[in-house]
Structure 1
């Protein structure tokens, strides 16, 4: 994709449901308006745009939007998650030394800690993170998310950029007390509803001139808990694409959360943020799950 065909994409909550948002000068244009204006049928969801390989055509259309007069969305958009049903949602654990120290465990040296999580964990910007009754210590962590753009398998790390659609921001929650009891509990500790916030933006790789220099920060109630660059990862994002595609199909739209520089304990009423430079800031509030048993 050429520099003049880069796009920043999100999902917006609208009065009639959800629509894809495209960043344009002065605001956000909705995909439904773009389709109506240029007589196209892109999408209709962001996952569809990725699966159908429409990004370059959409970016070219957006480049002509000022002449077409496509209106921008309201000044304070209501974001949804980038999409609600990622084909695969991989998480990577203990990819920074600091995070291994947080948990008091030894950092893996042969392969990263990893886990698949269900789509019921997915929320978006501004949604509530619900604290389950089964855990007394939940943590939140900021991560860079890699969005796969081409269904692939057995990708060599040096070729990973060819299958990456873009990058997003992730807030990843953990019932940390369960892991401290037994590391084998990690699938359970990561699988509670609302435990993975995605978005609000996906940016194409062209907008990230140096991926290794991207800084990821975990922020709780305005205080930075941990911050570090991609260059400090033990396993970089392209290596991870190769690892997770080894012997396994990564469908277009799959997301890999690449690991956190550090996690913060969250409690009812907290505001937690993931800040990924050049990609976007993601913010959620924390609430007790009203359905949790006492």
Structure 2
């Protein structure tokens, strides 16, 4: 947990206070412990400096989101990259298996079935309250926070046939999440948040949430329509643009005010 002055380790908080928060972020979200945990940590100012001599190692937020929705073609630029029109009535979308999930510093593995894999930075919405049929104007009440997402695509499969989207998005390691979840109170203007896709230090595409065709609140309303969104579910809200990635590349999702996510690309072993 990031706090003023450093990072508070959850296991140390529990050991010091005799509490049983978590033990995972998904548990904290599902049990509604975030407010109580923040208050506990605020009362332990000396805890931050304990046990943090080394640089922390980040994993994904959690390995198995209850639902992991992806949104396609939510920026004009990305639709242009693929040579298609933006959907006029609703966003392109897809569900991903949990085996796609990795975290900061993990390797993105290029599958042998694709010769053109792309990576794209996105803003992720983390659902905090199990919900259904949420009006867009009420979406803030069910959002736990925001995270950074790197979304990979076997783009040659989609160019061959758009119906291959579920396959093209479902390879192992094709969705990186983290390293932080930032609560809504830390983002004064969600529409001004800038998302950038960076490959080997070069910015491939960059744009703000305000340029989305379907904003994050609208998406929460859309995906909760007639469908349960369990606490801990994640919606990847769309990318300003994707970059082709190859073995040895470093790819980043830079989400202003939310976090910088970085992964290395490797060929999948035969």
Q: TM-score under structure 1 normalisation? A: 0.90
Equivalences for residues 62-81 of structure 1 within 5 A: 62-66=41-45, 71=50, 73-81=52-60
Q: Which of 46, 56, 59 pairs up with 2:35?
A: 56
1:17 aligned partner: none
Going from structure 1 to structure 2, the CA distance change for 1:160 and 1:190 (only over 3 Å counts) comes to same
Equivalences for residues 260-275 of structure 1 within 5 A: 260-275=239-254
2:137 aligned partner: 158
- 1:73 CA drift (Å): 2.5
1:186 aligned partner: 165
Structure 1 CA distance, aligned partners of 2:48 and 2:5? Answer: 12
Structure 2 CA distance, aligned partners of 1:226 and 1:62? Answer: 38
Structure 1 CA distance, aligned partners of 2:32 and 2:243? Answer: 37
Structure 2 CA distance, aligned partners of 1:229 and 1:43? Answer: 33
Equivalences for residues 73-222 of structure 1 within 5 A: 73-222=52-201
Q: Which of 231, 245, 252 pairs up with 2:224?
A: 245
Does residue 282 of the first structure (1) align with residue 235 of the second (2)?
no
Q: Which runs of 4+ in 1 moved over 4 A?
A: 67-70
Structure 2 CA distance, aligned partners of 1:152 and 1:128? Answer: 33
Q: TM-score under structure 2 normalisation? A: 0.98
Q: Is the 8 A contact 2:8 2:47 kept in 1?
A: no
Going from structure 1 to structure 2, the CA distance change for 1:192 and 1:210 (only over 3 Å counts) comes to same
- Name the stretch that deviates more: 187-196 or 32-41: 32-41
Q: Is the 8 A contact 1:28 1:72 kept in 2?
A: no
Going from structure 1 to structure 2, the CA distance change for 1:70 and 1:54 (only over 3 Å counts) comes to farther
Q: Is the 8 A contact 1:27 1:75 kept in 2?
A: no
Going from structure 1 to structure 2, the CA distance change for 1:45 and 1:245 (only over 3 Å counts) comes to same
1:7 aligned partner: none
Structure 1 CA distance, aligned partners of 2:106 and 2:189? Answer: 31
- 1:82 CA drift (Å): 0.4
Structure 2 CA distance, aligned partners of 1:24 and 1:276? Answer: 19
Does residue 255 of the first structure (1) align with residue 254 of the second (2)?
no
Tell me the SS of whatever aligns to 2:214: coil
Cα RMSD over matched residues? 1.0
Output one character per residue of 1:47-80: Cα deviation in whole Å (capped at 9) or x when no partner.
Answer: 0000000000001111112156662534421100
- 1:250 CA drift (Å): 0.2
- 1:221 CA drift (Å): 0.1
1:43 aligned partner: 22
Unaligned runs of 5+ in 2: none
Q: Is the 8 A contact 1:168 1:203 kept in 2?
A: yes
Tell me the SS of whatever aligns to 2:37: helix
Structure 2 CA distance, aligned partners of 1:69 and 1:117? Answer: 36
Structure 1 CA distance, aligned partners of 2:130 and 2:11? Answer: 26
Output one character per residue of 1:115-145: Cα deviation in whole Å (capped at 9) or x when no partner.
Answer: 0000000000000000000000000000000
